[in-house]
Structure 1
């Protein structure tokens, strides 16, 4: 079940609630009991292990808008 972050407009507390996606926008009561909360936009990062940053053999080398200096 996804976890969503909320901020209470009354006390400023930030808290999380696990709930179904269908209930993500429903009001959330803060731990202090206040009902006026807003759902926060949360982001996450993805970390990849391994791999190489070198171009693959099928990828063209170079750069720029055309991949190798044809724009001039």
Structure 2
């Protein structure tokens, strides 16, 4: 289930709520009971390794080894 991050405008506390995507836009109440909250944009980090690109500027192309 997706997790959404919110921030309370009254006490500035940030908190997370697990809920289905169909309810992603629903308001969330702060753990301290405040109703004036806003959903924050979150970034997703995906682990893994990719090989370094070859060529390109300073990767073996345009700098000429300077």
Indicate yes or no: 2:18 matched with 1:18: yes
Higher relative contact order (CA 8 A, sep 6+): 2
**Pairwise CA distance, 1:22:** 1.1
TM-score, length-normalised on structure 1? Answer: 0.68
Where do 5+ consecutive residues of structure 2 fail to align?
none
Residues of 1 paired with 2:32 and 2:42: CA distance? 22
Q: How many residues end up aligned between the 2 structures?
A: 59
Long gaps (5+) in structure 1: 56-61
Moved over 2 A (4+): 51-55
TM-score normalised according to structure 2 size: 0.73
